[in-house]
Structure 1
Amino acid sequence: MSRGFVKEDDQEEVPMVPPRADLPAGVTNYVTPKGMEALTDEKTLLIKEREALDTANENERRIALNHINAKLQLLNTRILSAKVVHLNIQPKDEVRFGAFVTLKIGTTNKIEKYQITGVDEADISKGKISFVSPIAKLLTNKKVGEKVTLKLAKEYRLFEVMDIAYGQK
């Protein structure tokens, strides 16, 4: 049927859903146990939100429902592709996925602590960096005392591994 015979009001609005954190094509979706728990909690909240939709306007309800369903579809895809990495089996003397790493920056006495996590868990404000980030890639397989150099836009920054742990910090 020609689009000329379709009323404007009958057009289904396509929801604009922001993409999830970038996971490069072909890269395994590693998550920590806490990361998997956060993904499943997010799914539960979205399902509850969908069930609680209560609006008098049917068009608004349909748009909100489409938006939630689109978010659920992206989330389900991420959950299905997730591979949980149990931290208790990681080598204790090397930086690997899930490690809490204490770093000395350059020649200063400034210390920073990060956990290497999955892309959905990463949150720099909480000290969590994605395993696909440049610094995490440089740190992987390093041991206490080893140094790595990260090339930034206008400088190079030196990091020294001071401590590696896999327990909660």
Structure 2
Amino acid sequence: MAKDELGYDRIVERQLRGVAREVLLQVGSKGLPGDHHFYITFRTDYPGVSIGPTLKAQFPKEITIVLQHQFWGLEVTDEAFAVTLSFSGKHERLHVPFDALVSFTDPSVKFGLQFELKNQQVELQPADKPAPGAAKDEAPTALPKKSETKPAETNGGGDAKPATIIALDNFRKKH
């Protein structure tokens, strides 16, 4: 089998991260439309991630944030996004390079993306617990291990409709 000298994996990965970037750009300029909201999981130990020391101590490897009702100052660049969230009643500014993303989901439309991290082995680990005192819409949590993750079987109306999860592995040739 020929070696992929064009780097299709890298190209597809970059484009999938571009979907998250484009969505956050729209939300940053126009706000969240309808029932849309996002669960964004990222590696807290990835180079360029900036979170407060308390959050870093609670979530040394990975955290999932929710962008829904209470977030402020969403700024998006080509390489990263920054947002202020409330954790235990305290506002924290987060800076997250897109390369640190593990997953990006919008449960309102059953859409999700899972990413590979560049130059790092990723093992998803559940967090021990969410930040104490954090409100439901603000609670940082870690997603279950990939093998434990199951797409939602139904939407709010009870109609059977599988979630759309797109992972880079879908585009890789199996050896």
Structure with the higher fraction of residues in helix conformation = 1
Structure with the higher fraction of residues in strand conformation = 2
The structure number with the bigger radius of gyration is: 1
